[in-house]
Homo-oligomer: A and B are copies of this chain.
Amino acid sequence: MGEETMQVVRQIKEMQKISDRLREKGKRIGFVPTMGYLHDGHVSLVRKAKELCDSIVVSIFVNPTQFGPGEDFQRYPRDEEGDREKLERAGVDFLFMPEAGEMYPPRYQTSVEVAEVSKGLCGDFRPGHFRGVATVVAKLFNIVKPHAAVFGEKDYQQLLVIKRMVEDLNFDIEIIPGTLIREEEGIAMSSRNAYLSPEDRKRATVLYRSLVKAKELVDSGEKRTYNIVQAVEKMIGSVKGVSLQYVEIRDAETLERVERVSGPAVIAVAAMVGSVRLIDNIVIGG
């Protein structure tokens, strides 16, 4: 929680040089990649990084390649000044904000694909999304050269895609999950919540309420995925203006489908609330 000033870095080569110097000095670099419009969820990821590392780098980059056609890339919320204040207050050392033109110059043509874990769930509704995520994170890892990076459990499938990529491509980086943070009414914190009207905000609470209901069912002995999913679908289906995309229960580590909850599992849900796409999940013990 320092009063030191945060350094803003915009050039890729400059960021790499800074990281080289930090490493030469024996500093442990902690990294939190974001798309900006920061909320308390992001701040909690920074806090986690600060517990484990000496120098904290946060990136803000609204990555065009992880948005599909018709998605909200153009209108994705931005607030550079507010973000800088929040990060400075949180004690971040370096804010990396590259230009899209430097990240994806002419003749750019490389992509990273994590095959299995990217399938199903959000992968089915956002084709190419996780390829865009894996690719930009690989780039950011090579630019920021962190020892550890924190990814929120809110984007549960993304966290597993990154973990898998790091293991498969032998990135020497520790991936640390950050707990999902909720607003007072239980809605999972998301930059996209800014889009919600007051009415939609009320409707959106059904996602978390349905996940709590599912957990109660499991705790009370119901282990059959089918029955739990049915209960969640029914509950969400009863709220007008909320259109369910999926609710699924999957193995919490491999993301493989499970027919019964017998070990750690994640219940993940995605829905359109008005014109806003929201996701949520909880991990249950088994």
A-to-B contact residues, CB < 8 Å: 12, 16, 20, 23-24, 26, 107-117, 134-135, 138-139, 142-143, 145, 164-165, 168-172, 254
How far, in Å, is A174 (CB) from chain B's closest CB? 13
How far, in Å, is A53 (CB) from chain B's closest CB? 16
Residues of B near A143 (CB, < 8 A) are 170, 172
Residues of B near A171 (CB, < 8 A) are 142
Could you pull out 8 A-B pairs where Cβ atoms are within 8 angstroms? A12-B170, A24-B24, A107-B254, A109-B164, A110-B114, A110-B134, A110-B164, A138-B169
Cβ-closest chain B residue relative to A115: B109
Query: In terms of DSSP, what is the predominant structure of the interface of chain A?
Result: mixed
How far, in Å, is A123 (CB) from chain B's closest CB? 13
User: Does the CB pair B23–A168 fall under 8 Å?
Assistant: no
How far, in Å, is A107 (CB) from chain B's closest CB? 7
Residues of B near A16 (CB, < 8 A) are 170, 172
Residues of B near A168 (CB, < 8 A) are 108-110, 139
User: Does the CB pair B107–A116 fall under 8 Å?
Assistant: yes
Partner of A113, one of B12, B26, B107, B113: B113
User: Does the CB pair A111–B110 fall under 8 Å?
Assistant: no
List 11 additional contacts besides A20-B172, A24-B24, A110-B169; criterion CB under 8 Å.
A16-B170, A23-B23, A108-B168, A109-B117, A109-B168, A110-B114, A110-B134, A111-B113, A113-B113, A139-B168, A142-B169
Residues of B near A107 (CB, < 8 A) are 116, 164, 254
Partner of A110, one of B20, B26, B165: B165
